[in-house]
Amino acid sequence: MLSAKNLVKTFEKNEKKGKKVLFNAVDDVSIDVNKGEIIGILGPNGAGKTTLLRMLGNLMKPTSGEVSLIEDGEVVSDERTIKKNIGYLSGNTKLYGRLSTRELLQIMGNIYDMSKEETDNRIEEICKILNLSEFIDNRIEKLSTGQTQRASISRCLIHSPEIYIFDEPTLGLDILSSSAIIEFIKNEKKKGKTVVYSTHYMEEAEAICDRIIFINKGKIICQGTVEELKKVTGDESVRDVFQTLIKKEGVDYEF
Amino acid sequence: MNFKIIKALYKKEILDVLRDKKTVLMMLVVPLVLYPLLIVFGLQLMTKISTDMEEQNYKIGMDFEEKKLTGLFEAEDKDVEGYSISLVKTDEPKDALAKGELDAYVTKEVVDGEETFVVCYLSADTNSSYAADIIIEVLNEYSLSITTDLIEDAGLDAEYVLNPISLAARDYSSNEESAGNIMGSLVPFMLVTSLLMGTMYPAIDTTAGERERGTLETVLTLPVTNQELFFSKFLTVATIGIASAILNIISMGGVGVYMYKTMLGFSGRNGIDMGQFVPGIIICGLCVLAFAVFISAISMCVCVFAKSYKEANNYITPLTLVVMFASMVSIVPNVELTSNMALVPVVNICLLIRDLLVFKFNITVIMLVLVSNIIYGMLAVVLLGRIYNSEAILFGDGSASVQIFEKRSNMIKGGVPTLGDMWLVLAISLVAMIYVGGAVQIEFGYYGVLGTQFIILFVPILYALYTKKSLVETFRLRMCKANAFVGGLLMIAGTILLGMIVTGIAGMIFKNSATELTESMEYLLGDSFIKTLLVVAVAPAICEELMFRGFVFSSLEKKCSYKKAIVIGGVLFGAYHMNIVQFFTTAFIGMVICYVSYRSKSIFPGMLMHFLNNALSCFTMYYPDTVKKVAPILVSETVTLNDMVLMVLVGLALIYSGAYILNMKKVEKN
């Protein structure tokens, strides 16, 4: 189980006329992610979704608060161990264009402390799951958008993590590619893996998430299963729930 | 740090960088293909030009009759192989020269009442210049033949009169030394430049390039610490830099040997024993390694702030220019590698290579260069590590903290300058002092020296005004309670006592610099006491205080903890004096004054302290006898151990009591 306690992240922001102001991008957020669960993080642009996910993935250190991994009642907060259990994917995690997918996966395996044999076997497996064989030895910069996305996913699979953190994984993809990712998430859940992901697509979240967390201005404003959320506002769909909640917060959110 | 991870990251970086066309071009193609081609092509071009010149027919004009001279021209035409001469008789030689019918001509005119042969030619035309040279040569022969005739007419032996002594030169430099001398002026420049060029592209590629391609966050998802990340990147840049430097040296060495072999046939000299260069090359290799570390880390420090490849290129260009300019020092004759010079980065390595190639081995200097390069290298790596550990750099878009590049309407009124502003202002002031100051001092003498000090005042004030900073806050223009002055007075007295011991020790270690310092002080003695006091004590107390305790310390204090700000402020003040003996004392004094300024929040106690410190050394210089009577310890050449202990104790007591007085009243006020 991945557990985040009272996460706060403070940044310096450039206000008008270059004046620097401190603000909390994430403000006292606590999340417990249970094993085998799909959690959707929803919120308007600038709500702090990416910062929150970066802290969950240990890419960024929180200003205060703690992220820890609880396995069989044992609490681990060592950065390296947590990272080894997480596969992180976002629009900002681009791949090294001058390497081939195979070279990239081999190097990653090495860094995740896997033996050469282990890595090669895992690459064969991933190759089958994501159908990489036709382009695995081509330079990544030569791949098409869909192929690149598959290569990206293969990157977070190499070390067989228990938890996936995806920051808007379907953003800007066509229907085929994005549904492939949704399928992938569903399959991983079947294998008992945990997924935390953020998205702007409400229907997508409604379809696959066990639990949805709405955040705005760095704070959790509401969380629960799709049914629970609908009860809170009395709306019919997650989209409407979202709009009602955000309006209550005093933010006009444009879709 | 986990070395297995560093190795894996290093492998990835090397693979990535080596597949970058720009890097490969700079690293392989330029040294291995372009340089040899350029040199071979250049040689052929030179051969062609000289052949053309030899086949040339020079049309030389004469507008007077002189049989013997004409004969000499004809003899020259026959004797000399290669070019030929056509002698043309003409009445309008100037027109013919203009039309190109003549290459040059000789005429007779009366200059200053004396009949003179005038050679007329066009310096803008190469052929005309050569023709003029030929005419001058023949005229000299003509002059000599007349002299010979005159001597013989007088019944003397012309051969003996013209050459009363026989003369021969013999070179006792070994072939190796002569070769080293030639290499010594070229190799350092080429080595430093190629090292820089080699590190430049990987430095940009692994930092700004990675940011631009968006792969940095991918690496951060891995179980890798920031330190492992930066260290592997740094190793990559250093490896590529060293590899490209080696390739450059091999390539240049190959071309050098080729040229030498082709020329050896003409010079008739014996071969060179390369074995003699081995010890020098090993020492150079070590220093170059340390230097490569330094230059890689520095170029990465610069690039890490850039958002894109293009921006990084812009940032690194000034660095390239500075390094290349500094490395040209080996070509300048008479620049010696002193212990002072051994501490200047880039310059020290160039001078050392030059010295080693002519077999000058000075162990102290070699160690100084090696150690200083290792220290600079380590400092640069530590700095890089610090920068890489900052999330603002990793996730941000690099920071533009230098305010002057903002639109002026966007600048906020008030506050103190940023650290970026501080570095910029320091750099501008220093450069202005060296160039403008140098010129002004030569032109105006004493008043020039005085005026130069005000450069360091005007630059920060103008900068603060332009960036709309609060002058009161930036320069601490507040009055303070009298206790700050009393405390400051006691503290500076203690500091002077301790400073004397520090200067004494530093002077023993760096003897050269100590002599330089005394000489520059004595140079001032020519003027009256008041004039010297003005330039040595009054002006620095105003200008340097406003700069260092005002602009510099205020920006440091805003960003760092006060302890750190005091230490850095002091070190910068020490470094500004650009003399190693003075460094330790001035840095110490700087720190003490920083502390007083910090506590009193005012510039004025510091000004008084600075004035007193400088005035005292000025007074000692002018009135040593008076000082000897009042405080003999200040001028005595030797100090006993007892005196030294006493000085330290009294000094510390003064500093502590000063600090007590400074702080005491402040608590009451609160």
Q: Which residue has the tokens 């004590």?
A: B537
What average pLDDT does this structure show over B281-302? 86
What average pLDDT does this structure show over B594-623? 90
Residues in chain B, how many? 670
Q: Would you say B354 and B330 are in contact if contact means Cβ atoms under 8 Å apart?
A: yes
pLDDT digits 0-9 by tens, B526-550: 678 888 888 888 999 999 999 999 9
Q: What is the pLDDT of residue A17?
A: 45
Q: What is the pLDDT of residue A84?
A: 92
Question: How far apart (Å, rounded) are the C-alpha atoms in residues B588 and B574?
Answer: 8
pLDDT digits 0-9 by tens, B112-121: 888 899 999 9
Structure token digits, residue B72: 């000499």
CA–CA distance from B428 to each of A103, B344, B398, B431, B630 (Å)?
A: 48, 19, 23, 5, 43
Banded model confidence at residue B401, pLDDT cuts 50, 70, 90: low
Lowest mean pLDDT among A56-70, B181-195, B268-282: B268-282
Which domains are present in chain B? Answer: 3-45+173-394 (no CATH), 56-161 (3.40.190.10), 404-664 (no CATH)
B110 DSSP β-pair partners: B115
**For B223, which of A80, A92, A96 is closest by C-beta distance?**
A80
Q: Is the pLDDT of residue B566 over 90?
A: yes
Note whether B412 contacts A17, CB cutoff 8 Å.
yes
Of chain B, the percentage scoring pLDDT greater than 90 comes to: 19
SS3 B173: coil
**For B16, which of A87, A98, A111 is closest by C-beta distance?**
A98
Question: How far apart (Å, rounded) are the C-alpha atoms in residues B307 and B258?
Answer: 45
Q: Would you say B200 and B11 are in contact if contact means Cβ atoms under 8 Å apart?
A: no
**Chain A interface includes B19 (CB < 8 A):** yes
Averaged pLDDT, groups of 10, chain A, 255 residues long: 90 59 87 91 88 92 91 86 92 90 94 93 91 92 88 91 90 81 89 90 87 90 87 83 78 44
Select the residue from A59, A101, A164 to test the B interface by mutation, using most B Cβ atoms within 10 A: A59
Select the residue from B217, B219, B410 to test the A interface by mutation, using most A Cβ atoms within 10 A: B217
Q: What is the pLDDT of residue B400?
A: 45
What average pLDDT does this structure show over B289-313? 86
Q: Is the pLDDT of residue B517 over 80?
A: no
Instruction: Name the strands in the sheet holding B104-111, side by side, starting at the edge strand that comes first in the sequence.
Output: B84-89, B57-62, B104-111, B114-121
What average pLDDT does this structure show over B338-352? 84
B120 DSSP β-pair partners: B105
CB neighbour class for B112 (10 Å; exposed up to 12, middle 13-18, buried from 19): exposed
pLDDT digits 0-9 by tens, B425-462: 888 888 787 777 777 777 777 788 788 888 888 889 99
> 3-state SS of chain A: helix, strand, coil percent to 5?
40, 30, 30
Tell me which chain A residues have a C-beta less than 8 angstroms from the C-beta of B213: 94, 96-97
Note whether B4 contacts A113, CB cutoff 8 Å.
yes
Give the mean pLDDT of chain B: 83
> Which of the 8 DSSP states describes residue B182?
H
Question: How far apart (Å, rounded) are the C-alpha atoms in residues B520 and B420?
Answer: 33
Question: How far apart (Å, rounded) are the C-alpha atoms in residues A106 and A113?
Answer: 11
DSSP-assigned letters across all residues of B188-222: HHHHHHHHHHHHHHHHHIIIIIHHHHT-HHHHHTS
B664 to chain A nearest CA, in Å?
35
pLDDT digits 0-9 by tens, B586-595: 999 999 999 9
Q: Would you say B316 and B303 are in contact if contact means Cβ atoms under 8 Å apart?
A: yes
Residue A29 is inside which H or E element, if any? strand A20-33
Q: What is the pLDDT of residue B139?
A: 92
More confident residue, B464 or A21: B464
**Chain B interface includes A172 (CB < 8 A):** no
pTM exceeds cut of 0.80: no
Compare all CA atoms of chain B with the CA of A60 and give the residue at the minimum distance.
Answer: B391
Q: What is the pLDDT of residue B147?
A: 92
Q: What is the pLDDT of residue B666?
A: 47
Q: What is the pLDDT of residue B236?
A: 94
Banded model confidence at residue B233, pLDDT cuts 50, 70, 90: very high
Q: Is the pLDDT of residue B39 over 80?
A: no
CA–CA distance from B502 to each of B490, B496, B611, B617 (Å)?
A: 19, 10, 20, 15
Q: Nearest 5°: phi and psi at A164?
A: -110, 135
Q: What is the pLDDT of residue A12?
A: 73
Residues 6+ apart with CB under 8 A from A199: A40, A41, A42, A168, A169, A170, A171, A205
More confident residue, B670 or A114: A114
CA–CA distance from B112 to each of A52, B109, B115 (Å)?
A: 94, 10, 8
Banded model confidence at residue B513, pLDDT cuts 50, 70, 90: low
Select the residue from A26, A52, A53, A96 to test the B interface by mutation, using most B Cβ atoms within 10 A: A96
**For B406, which of A18, A81, A112 is closest by C-beta distance?**
A18
Q: Is the pLDDT of residue B24 over 60?
A: yes
**For B5, which of A87, A111, A139 is closest by C-beta distance?**
A111
Question: How far apart (Å, rounded) are the C-alpha atoms in residues B567 and B586?
Answer: 12
A residues 203-222 closer than 8 Å to B (CB): none
Q: Is the pLDDT of residue B603 over 90?
A: yes
Q: Are strands A219-224 and B57-62 parallel, antiparallel or unpaired?
A: unpaired
- Four-residue CA torsion sign, B170, B171, B174, B178: negative
Note whether A60 contacts B391, CB cutoff 8 Å.
yes
Q: Would you say A115 and B6 are in contact if contact means Cβ atoms under 8 Å apart?
A: no
**Chain A interface includes B644 (CB < 8 A):** no
Note whether B8 contacts A111, CB cutoff 8 Å.
yes
